[in-house]
Amino acid sequence: MLDPSKNELLTQVGRDTPMGELLRRYWMPIAAVSEFDSESVRPVRLLGEDLTLYKDMNGTFGLVDRHCPHRSADMSYGFVEQCGLRCNYHGWLFDQEGRCIEQPYEDVAHPEAHFRDKIRIKAYPVQAHAGLLWAYLGSQPAPLVPNWEPFTWKNGFVQIVFADVPCNWLQCQENSVDPLHFEWMHMNWSVRLKDQGGAYSPRHLKLAFEEFDYGIVYRRIREGMSEEDPLWKVGRVCLWPNALFTGDHFEWRVPIDDRNTLSVTWCFTRVPKEREPYAQEKIPGWRGPVLDAETGRWISSHVMNQDFIAWIGQGAIADRTREHLGTSDAGIIMLRQIFLRDIEAIAHGEDPKATIRDAQLNRCVSLPIADRKRLVEGMTREEMSRHPLAAGQLADYIFQAGQPREVREAYAAAMGLSK
């Protein structure tokens, strides 16, 4: 249970709040690079700020204020030029650093005034990496965009999946350090949803949580498992500050504002050995629905949709004054304590946890990976079809509802599944 002031402290993401400041010290994934093959400008809301993300004709990405500094027209209806984004109202043009580089009327009528030199639009850095666009809203100097080990892997098909989840990011992230829910929400509930009564899945017998450089490792023993199992020996990762990492799959919970979260998944599937060497031409990005329009209920058919139901169900901002934490929640307590500790660290001028500034280290940042052998060495298609996790992933995209047909087809072609 948390007192109300701590709940507020941990959940507010606005610019002038302590957690808002902490979260701004990290690069946030906000879109897929490939989405900008077919569009050039879109509105983005991030950490409570209304912004405009664009790709200009030179291929440079920019993230600027939603509103023009002239008379506040909506920059997400602006249009791109060779360099920068132009407001559609009176044509002021801004580059990715926020400089005003053209004021069509003033430049002609009163060039001597150099009015545009006095104007800037709010602008934040954007970087493309691993098929994602990353934004940084914090103080300079910015840390590096983490080059997590799976981003360096070859011979895989990657897809990036988004969902708008109408609740605060922290309750989503608490799910990243909650191994027990897997048994109930994903295993037992899925069986019941399919109307197949019968045995429950193996119970969790033992959990352990441990802080490391880039987050918290969680370990589990379920009925029938030994302490030699990689899920106990290696574990899985609650990745700092707002992600889950399972080995071939990242899920970021990106705060849109205090009451909304952008779920961003980066999912790597190693192609069968027969298909190697394989180089993916384009990493697709797609957005799945959360609500079933026919029934008006949340979609429950896929793993992450089930998670969304848990998160949304906790309320727009979970009221942690009403909770009753058990021993299975030790990781959640640890997560909150680390954030509170880092709020203090930032107040003392220090970097928060897991900000990476060493370029040498960032050539490839290793993480604990329970399935390392399978992912690094690969499997034949035969082996994949017999593997409990890989077989399901060959058959369908199990994590989120709404995969577009063209992504499924590209995936099937990569895996050699098409005729």
Q: Is 71 in the site for ligand FES (CB under 6 A)?
A: yes
Distance (Å, whole) CA 215 – CA 68: 39
Question: Six-digit token pair at 354?
Answer: 């897991």
Alpha helices in 14-98 (DSSP H): 18-23
* Residues in Cβ contact with 283 at an 8 Å cutoff, skipping those fewer than 6 apart: 32, 33, 34, 130, 131, 158, 159, 160
Q: Which of 19, 44, 47, 87 binds ligand FES (CB under 6 A)?
A: 87
User: At 277, phi and psi to the nearest 5?
Assistant: -80, 140
> 295-326: string of b/e by CB count within 10 Å (b at 16+)?
eeebbeebbbbbbbbbbbebeebbebeeeeee
Q: Is 212 in the site for ligand FES (CB under 6 A)?
A: no
Question: Six-digit token pair at 366?
Answer: 């290793």
Residue with the two structure tokens 């077919």: 38
Question: Six-digit token pair at 104?
Answer: 């069509």
Binding window for ligand FES (CB under 6 A); candidates: 12-20, 90-98, 106-114, 226-234:
90-98
Binding window for Fe ion (CB under 5 A); candidates: 126-134, 136-144, 248-256, 303-311:
303-311
Q: Is the dihedral of CA 255, 258, 261, 262 positive or negative?
A: negative
Instruction: Please state the closest distance from residue 185 (CB atom) to Fe ion, in A.
Output: 6
Binding window for Fe ion (CB under 5 A); candidates: 21-29, 58-66, 301-309, 385-393:
301-309
Residue 289: name its binding partner from Fe ion, ligand FES, none (Cβ under 5 to 8 Å by kind): none
Distance (Å, whole) CA 238 – CA 177: 6
Q: With respect to Fe ion, which residue has the nearer C-beta, 35 or 307? A: 307
Instruction: Please state the closest distance from residue 68 (CB atom) to ligand FES, in A.
Output: 3
Q: Which of 42, 70, 372, 408 binds ligand FES (CB under 6 A)?
A: 70
Residue 307: name its binding partner from ligand FES, Fe ion, none (Cβ under 5 to 8 Å by kind): Fe ion
User: At 321, phi and psi to the nearest 5?
Assistant: -75, -15
User: At 372, phi and psi to the nearest 5?
Assistant: -55, -45
Q: Is the dihedral of CA 143, 144, 145, 149 positive or negative?
A: negative
Q: Is 68 in the site for ligand FES (CB under 6 A)?
A: yes
Task: Report the run of H or E that residue 212 belongs to, with start and end.
Answer: strand 204-212
Q: Is 94 in the site for ligand FES (CB under 6 A)?
A: no
Residue 89: name its binding partner from ligand FES, Fe ion, none (Cβ under 5 to 8 Å by kind): ligand FES
Residue 6: name its binding partner from Fe ion, ligand FES, none (Cβ under 5 to 8 Å by kind): none
Distance (Å, whole) CA 190 – CA 192: 5
Q: With respect to Fe ion, which residue has the nearer C-beta, 307 or 329? A: 307
Question: Six-digit token pair at 326?
Answer: 């058990």
Residue 68: name its binding partner from Fe ion, ligand FES, none (Cβ under 5 to 8 Å by kind): ligand FES
Residue nearest to Fe ion (CB): 307
* Residues in Cβ contact with 280 at an 8 Å cutoff, skipping those fewer than 6 apart: 156, 157, 158, 414
Q: Is 371 in the site for Fe ion (CB under 5 A)?
A: no
* Residues in Cβ contact with 269 at an 8 Å cutoff, skipping those fewer than 6 apart: 156, 157, 158, 248, 393, 411, 414, 415
Residue with the two structure tokens 């990657």: 158
Instruction: Please state the closest distance from residue 89 (CB atom) to Fe ion, in A.
Output: 45
Instruction: Please state the closest distance from residue 414 (CB atom) to ligand FES, in A.
Output: 44
Q: With respect to Fe ion, which residue has the nearer C-beta, 32 or 303? A: 303
Q: Is 92 in the site for ligand FES (CB under 6 A)?
A: yes
Q: With respect to ligand FES, which residue has the nearer C-beta, 43 or 404? A: 43
Instruction: Please state the closest distance from residue 51 (CB atom) to Fe ion, in A.
Output: 30
Residue 189: name its binding partner from Fe ion, ligand FES, none (Cβ under 5 to 8 Å by kind): none
Count CA atoms closer than 13 A to 189's CA, side-chain side: 16
Q: Is 307 in the site for Fe ion (CB under 5 A)?
A: yes
Residue 268: name its binding partner from ligand FES, Fe ion, none (Cβ under 5 to 8 Å by kind): none
Kindly state the number of chain residues that form the binding site for ligand FES, as judged by CB under 6 A: 9
Q: Would you tell me which residues interact with Fe ion (CB under 5 A)?
A: 307
Q: Would you tell me which residues interact with ligand FES (CB under 6 A)?
A: 68, 70-71, 73, 87, 89-92
